[in-house]
Amino acid sequence: MTAISKILIANRGEIALRVLRACKELGIATVAVHSTADADAMHVRLADESVCIGPPPSRDSYLNIHQIVAACEITGADAVHPGYGFLSENAKFADILDAHGITFIGPTAEHIRLMGDKITAKKTAVELGIPVVPGSDGEVLPENALKIAREIGFPVLIKATAGGGGRGMKVAKNEAELEEAVSTARSEALAAFGNDAVYMEKYLGKPRHIEVQVVGDGAGNAIHLGERDCSLQRRHQKVWEEANSPALNVEQRMKIGQICADAMKKMKYRGAGTIEFLYENGEFFFIEMNTRLQVEHPITEAITGIDLVHEQIRVASGAGLSVTQDQIVFSGHAIECRINAEDPRTFVPSPGTITHFHAPGGLGVRVDSGVYAGYKIPPYYDSLIGKLIVHGRTRVECMMRLRRVLDEFVVDGIKTTLPLFQDLVANQDIANGDYDIHWLEHYLAETSA
């Protein structure tokens, strides 16, 4: 066992604060790192120590591995929690920390690499008994694209093996569109990821996005914590998430959960991870695995009562999981709304100073946010300023509570996406849980006309 006594949090915003809270509860000292633009951030104020690691651009600060390792050495931090985004899925970072004797709170560098390359990830999923989207065996080149597409059947989706954030993805509805789709996907992938390798999948028409939360101890023991439905997306970015999925029953939940937990046992996976699927006509199709904590993890915490960051820290230190699969009880329903500093119709970022801030409260309400009245949102980073998580005994109760809570939430001085959620919570399809991954884009197109 490697006891952890001081954790450096290599992130910013709401997730830095969320990790800090878990450390405090466990009696572990905290080090915040920040760019010059984030000197006034809440996680910096609340951490035991803080180190400025560079100027505002992420590549010079939150992505600057040397500065972060130096900050560990100066402060004596013996572990790093990477949060999500930034260096959280960077295998080189995990290797470098390892070489310095610093614990990376996450999976092994080998597992990050395995799942970071999507072609390899899909092959691994097949080997582990996880169902995948029908598609090419490996890389697709312009010269063999047509043959493969005919085998799969149109429409097909061209995806970047190094992909993320929905970039490097192109649909070809028919043969005429294929050549262009492959070449655009390849050049987008090269520009975004420095790797032009693409693969092909059957394009599913009306799937839901359903993902399974897993945690492994690295020694062959692993559990699942049920699923999250993240079908409400805009430009492949999740907007509203719920647990459990309105589309699954208990048997389906436990079956896919067990498949995922068994796969993680076989891999000897360590840490928290999410196995993402598309779900259509009762069938699950693996699309990718994220080897880190996800933005939407609090809805799983709400329905299980398990603190996922506690579990991450436990397994990183070799203390093992705090629960067995049998002890996990799924209770009620939870919904998360991502509050972005953006115009609720155009989604244009709206940085600036928050003049007034009132977070809602009451039973079943959680607000994870690092902002406060007087806080100036810097323009350099993504626009997520907070997450609203509401829990109820049933989905109906959860929706009633969400409606009340949205009316109570006040963020003045900037535009936010709160009004969008007020519309969604009043919508009949949403009330019925009747939506797929295209629903939100159609809704936005219709209601802006």
Q: 27 or 194, CB closer to ligand ADP? A: 194
When binding is defined by CB under 6 A, the residue of 232, 243, 437, 440 that contacts ligand ADP is: 437
**223 lines the binding site for ligand ADP (CB under 6 A):** no
**Cβ(363)–Cβ(424) under 8 Å?**
no
CA atoms 388, 393, 399, 400: torsion sign:
negative
Amino acid present at 8: L
Q: How far apart are CA 406 and CA 178, in angstroms?
A: 44
When binding is defined by CB under 6 A, the residue of 209, 224, 270, 338 that contacts ligand ADP is: 209
Q: What is the DSSP letter of 60?
A: G
CA 122 to chain centre: 19
**236 lines the binding site for ligand ADP (CB under 6 A):** yes
Q: Match 């196995």 to its residue by tokens.
A: 275
Q: Which residue in the list 113, 292, 314, 366 is annotated as catalytic?
A: 292
**157 lines the binding site for ligand ADP (CB under 6 A):** yes
**166 lines the binding site for ligand ADP (CB under 6 A):** yes
When binding is defined by CB under 6 A, the residue of 17, 28, 178, 204 that contacts ligand ADP is: 204
CB of 365 to ligand ADP, least distance (A): 27
Q: How far apart are CA 97 and CA 106, in angstroms?
A: 11
Q: 53 or 156, CB closer to ligand ADP? A: 156
CB of 276 to ligand ADP, least distance (A): 5
Tell me if the bond preceding 155 is cis, omega within 30° of 0: yes
Enclosing H/E stretch for 302: helix 297-304
**88 lines the binding site for ligand ADP (CB under 6 A):** no
**153 lines the binding site for ligand ADP (CB under 6 A):** no
Strands 352-353, 376-377: pairing kind: antiparallel
Nearest Cα to Cα of residue 370 among 326, 411, 329, 328: 411
When binding is defined by CB under 6 A, the residue of 55, 164, 246, 433 that contacts ligand ADP is: 164
Q: How far apart are CA 380 and CA 366, in angstroms?
A: 26
**105 lines the binding site for ligand ADP (CB under 6 A):** no
CB of 256 to ligand ADP, least distance (A): 16
Q: 74 or 171, CB closer to ligand ADP? A: 171
Nearest Cα to Cα of residue 72 among 85, 87, 84, 57: 87
Nearest Cα to Cα of residue 319 among 271, 275, 274: 271
CB of 192 to ligand ADP, least distance (A): 10
292 is catalytic: yes
Task: Return the percent helix, strand and coil in the chain, to nearest 5.
Answer: 35, 25, 35
Instruction: Show contacts with ligand ADP in window 276-295 (CB under 6 A).
Output: 276, 278, 287-288
CB of 141 to ligand ADP, least distance (A): 19
**165 lines the binding site for ligand ADP (CB under 6 A):** yes
Residues engaged in binding ligand ADP (CB under 6 A) = 133, 157, 163-166, 201-204, 207, 209, 233, 236, 276, 278, 287-288, 437
Residues marked as catalytic:
292
